[in-house]
Structure formats: structure tokens, C-alpha cells
């Protein structure tokens, strides 16, 4: 594999940046400075150093994004309106996709990865991975509504939502935990109790919590600890 491809696939440097770094002597392979960024390396056996740090190649990428409103959770859409288009160009070429969907107007925690198996596991209805949403509603949420949501409600089109866990924050604000991921599920659950969602934010997904230091539209790589915990679940 070409070293510039390796560095870009890890999101460390674009091809142009790799070429510059090589010219500046900032890339070493097995202890030797390389002057060109198109040389081939074996990521399993070669010791690669980039800007003074050893690189351990990982083909899988895991990103946490604080999804803003107004972009779709898919890989293709009109120019600039997908979550993938918010990533740097190099990362856009790494086969990344969102792990599950949030509606265009929903904000908050979205995992973006190129690890199909893990994504499949996390989204499988059999796995009951929990998701917590912060919800603002048009009308007060009553104790009776909470009881209904916690028992399981009948949605439109005949779907039934499993029992959720609801924490009331104020008259028009709740946290709701669900273990499914049906289309527009939270909006439909609130409609089932004659209410309406006016703001929806995902704050937790499985073992991951939204990093509140990320502004809307910002992203970061998952830490190694977060990745280890995430992958441990799927074993
Ligand atoms: N439920 C919804 O209604 N919308 C989302 O985006 C996520 C969950």
C-alpha cells in the first residue's frame, strides 16, 4: 500500500500534505527518512513514523459527530448536505457511512465508520442497543403519557414501540431511552400520545455519550478506549 494512501486513510494527512511531509523529512520507514510519498509499505511489518510518532495502521475508522440540523445521515445527497460532506475531503474517500440514521432535523450523536460488521451489530434489532434522546415537545408530557410510553405504544402503520424509559425534565422536556430504531420512532411515539416533537437530540448510543465539547457539525475520532468498549460489545 502507498504510504500517502495509508496516511490519508487514517485521516492523518491528505496526499498533498504527505508529499510535503516527505520532502521535509517527516516520514520514516523502518528508521529511514523517505523523500517521496508514493513509496509502497507493508503496514503489517514496516515500522512507520509520521511527524515523530509511530503509526499503527488501522483500516477501520470510527468517528463521533455532533450532527447539526439540515444535513442528511447518508453517503449521497445533494452537494454539501450529507453528514459525510462535513468531513475533510480525504476522509470522504475512506468508504465511511453513518451507523444508522437521524432525521434531517435531528441533532446530536452520530457514529460514522467504515466498519460494516460493527455497524450491522449495533443496528440489529436483535441486539437492543439503547439510544437516549433529549426531546422537547409542543405540549406538556403528562404522567399518563409517561406510563403509556413506558408500557409500549401502538404507532401508526401498525408498528408497536417496545417499552421505553422516560425521565421528565420539565413539562415540555424529557429524556427517552429506546432499544429499537424504527423510522421516525421518537416522533411517532410522541404522536401516539397526542403530542409533537419540536426538538430532538440523540445524547447516547450504546456505550457512547455525546461529547459535549463538540459543537454542532464538529466531529472527532473515537478514542482507543471508546473503540475497545464498543468492539467488546460486539464479540
Ligand atoms: N426518532 C426520530 O423520530 N427521529 C430520529 O432522527 C431519531 C429517532
Whether residue 115 is found in the same domain as residue 227: yes
Shared domain check, 121 and 213: yes
Q: Report the CATH number at residue 67.
A: 3.30.70.580
Three-class secondary structure of residue 117 per DSSP: helix
CB 213 within 8 A of CB 118: no
Best probe residue, ligand 1, of 184, 191, 202, 204 (max atoms within 8 Å of C-beta): 184
Contact 109, 66 (CB under 8 A): yes
46, 81, 103, 159: the active-site residue: 103
**3 state DSSP class of 86:** helix
DSSP strand pairing (208-209 vs 131-137)? unpaired
What's the confidence (pLDDT) of residue 79? Answer: 60
Rounded CA gap, 164 and 13, in Å? Answer: 43
Are both 144 and 104 inside the same structural domain?
Answer: no
Query: What CATH code is carried by the domain that includes residue 35?
Result: 3.10.290.10
Residues 205-220 pLDDT 10s = 999 999 999 999 999 9
Q: How far apart are CA 41 and CA 170, in angstroms?
A: 57
- pLDDT > 70 fraction of the chain, expressed in percent and rounded: 99
Residue 160 in contact with residue 152, Cβ under 8 Å? Answer: yes
Do 115 and 212 sit in the same domain of this protein? yes
- Atom number in ligand 1 closest to CA 106: 6
Does 103 sit in the ligand 1 pocket, CB within 6 Å? yes
51-92 pLDDT, tens digit per residue, is 998 887 777 999 999 999 999 999 887 666 999 999 988 788
Confidence of residue 40 (pLDDT cuts 50, 70, 90): very high
The stretch 218-224 carries a mean pLDDT of 94
Best CA proximity match to 153, nearest among 194, 196, 181, 193: 193
Q: 107-113 and 197-205: which strand pairing?
A: parallel
**27, 34 contact by CB (below 8 A):** yes
- Domain of 166? 131-205
What residues are paired with 63 via a beta bridge? 112, 221
Please work out whether the CB of residue 106 comes within 6 Å of at least one atom of ligand 1: yes
Same domain? 137 vs 119 = no
Place of cell 456505550: 207
Q: Is the distance from the beta carbon of residue 191 to the nearest atom of ligand 1 less than 6 Å?
A: no
Ligand 1 close to Cβ of residue 187 (< 6 A)? yes
The set of cell numbers assigned to 72 is 442528511
Domain identity same for 161 and 144: yes
> Quick check: 220 and 66 in contact, CB under 8 A?
no
Closest Cα to atom 4 of ligand 1: 184
The verdict on 201 and 213 lying in the same domain is no
What is the pLDDT of the chain when averaged over all its residues?
93
Tell me, what's the pLDDT at 176?
98
Is the pLDDT score of 5 beyond 90?
Answer: no
Residues 171, 172, 178, 182, Cα dihedral to 10°: 150
Residue with cell 427517552: 176
Number of separate domains in the chain = 3
4 is catalytic: no
Report the C-alpha gap between 127 and 89 in whole angstroms: 33
Q: Whole-angstrom Cα distance, residue 47 to residue 43?
A: 8
pLDDT in tens, 90-128: 788 788 999 999 999 999 999 999 999 999 999 998 999
Q: Is the CB of residue 192 below 6 angstroms from any atom belonging to ligand 1? A: no
What is each CA distance from 189 to 50, 154, 186, in whole angstroms? 50, 8, 5
- Ligand 1: centre distance to CA 170 (Å): 20
Q: Are 37 and 16 in contact (CB under 8 A)?
A: no
pLDDT of residue 55: 86
- Looking at residue 80, its pLDDT comes to 66
Distance 176 CA to ligand 1 centre (A): 11
Cell (9 digits) for 92: 470522504
Above 90 in pLDDT, residue 10? no
CB of 67 within 6 A of ligand 1: the answer is no
What is the number of the ligand 1 atom nearest to the C-alpha of 133? 8
The reply to whether 137 and 186 lie within a common domain is: yes
Ligand 1: centre distance to CA 102 (Å):
6
Among 1-10, 23-32, 97-106, the minimum mean pLDDT is found in 1-10
User: Could you tell me the distance, in angstroms and rounded to a whole number, from the CA of residue 220 to the centre of ligand 1?
Assistant: 22
Amino acid at each position: 500500500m502507498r504510504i500517502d494512501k495509508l496516511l490519508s486513510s487514517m485521516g492523518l494527512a491528505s496526499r498533498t500534505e504527505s508529499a510535503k511531509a516527505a520532502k521535509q523529512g517527516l516520514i520514516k520507514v523502518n528508521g529511514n527518512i523517505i523523500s517521496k510519498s508514493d513509496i509502497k509499505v507493508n503496514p503489517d511489518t514496516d515500522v512507520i513514523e509520521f511527524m515523530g510518532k509511530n503509526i499503527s495502521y488501522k483500516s477501520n475508522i470510527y468517528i463521533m459527530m455532533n450532527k447539526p440540523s439540515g444535513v442528511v445521515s447518508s453517503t449521497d445527497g445533494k452537494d454539501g448536505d450529507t453528514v459525510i460532506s462535513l468531513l475533510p475531503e480525504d476522509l470522504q474517500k475512506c468508504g465511511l457511512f453513518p451507523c444508522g440514521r437521524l432525521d434531517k432535523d435531528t441533532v446530536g450523536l452520530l457514529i460514522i465508520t467504515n466498519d460494516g460488521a460493527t455497524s450491522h451489530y449495533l443496528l440489529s434489532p436483535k441486539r437492543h442497543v439503547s439510544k437516549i434522546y433529549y426531546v422537547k415537545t409542543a405540549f406538556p408530557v403528562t404522567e399518563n403519557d409517561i406510563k403509556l410510553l413506558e408500557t409500549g405504544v401502538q404507532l401508526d402503520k401498525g408498528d408497536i414501540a417496545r417499552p421505553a424509559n422516560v425521565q421528565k425534565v420539565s413539562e415540555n422536556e424529557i429524556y427517552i431511552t429506546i432499544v429499537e430504531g424504527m423510522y421516525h420512532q421518537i416522533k411517532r411515539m410522541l404522536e401516539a400520545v397526542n403530542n409533537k416533537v419540536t426538538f430532538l437530540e440523540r445524547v447516547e448510543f450504546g456505550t457512547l455519550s455525546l461529547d459535549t465539547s463538540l459543537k454542532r457539525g464538529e466531529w472527532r475520532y473515537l478514542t482507543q478506549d471508546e473503540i475497545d468498549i464498543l468492539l467488546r460489545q460486539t464479540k
